[in-house]
Structure 1
């Protein structure tokens, strides 16, 4: 069952922006809060303008379903999640490096309607790919109080690898609104009468979330000011078998959502881990 914790179940693809005339490949360089190369056409226009107040509200994290977003994804590499002290109460993280092993992916969220498992979850739920292979979906709900994880399901009802249908009896709150530095919470999700890899499954997942820093994040194609660093420590405890835990660092920005993340190796105890199983960054 360790595969369940192979990636922390947080939606990188839920960028909170949309565009009017298709999908662009850049952002205006002069928009408050972030920089990038100016593009003449098909530019992403966020539905809100970052006010850089260090507080993420529900209006600034509204999921834009069906809008592809491009990411670079690297695995098993060293990473700096600590950054440097800027001397003004904020930090700076330089993630502008490149890696020869990076992969390019486009990810997006979709409404749950039409999925084989749709009747198992609330009507307003939506789904995001859980794995890079696109064989498992994460199911979420969004509201004024936060972004919640409802469960997991295989994209096919009866794949050769075995059916997956897992739903929490109570939702797991991944992000809460409003969210700002200093916030912390623990959310527990209990799974009963579920199926994983075609086998009966039950267990409990514990999410410990700490919003502990505010600062500037530099990526190869963007520089985001006033991003929140969100630490998530997930422990998966199946009814049968040993527990598995991972650490994840997410960087979240107003009107864009989660723009970068680093996921630790399994069993990592150091919250400032220096080697990541996976790093994802918004980029060309």
Structure 2
């Protein structure tokens, strides 16, 4: 299992002149991209487990968004990436955005799939508070995963990966990092940006996602009314199609 010196597990799929780094959501593993990566024809893909998750449980992970982003970025540099696209589900989307903001010369484009909004959540968010309180409680975690799934038969991987998130990462993100705002930085984003948003996503505030894209110069957003928060597991073909449409139409590599 390839792991960088800072503890990030990664796997490579496909081939192409352009590289996409694929980041999972909170509690997920790279399995959330397993059916999508083969559909990204013409692109080399690098799947990475997030710090404190799955194969990356040994990586430093305190839930602080800028630190998470820098840990992932350092892993990208170690494996030799100098120009890459970065895409992420949920928390992975927020990490992707932070990397794009901090390292615009290396990032070609940023894609958020049901991304955690850049403005952060508000105190009292019931989903965040519910999951934070559920640490170590397998029964409650299972019920929570079911509640945010459109098709629980396709999200069973989370039943295995979410309970393995380190406590420091769990408490750090759900108890603090999730409230981080980088919304004021979005007008200065220098790379093409895309959000795929779902009408049945009950985890992230859709109005805040829309506000994000409105703040980004040339930002694009696609809304699918029937998609839920875990669309990467549940609708991989649709997710891959929308990613390719954006990349091939709006984020074309320079000649």
> Quick check: which one's helix share is greater?
2
TM over 0.5: no
TM-score, length-scaled by structure 1: 0.29
> Quick check: which one's strand share is greater?
1
TM-score, length-scaled by structure 2: 0.31
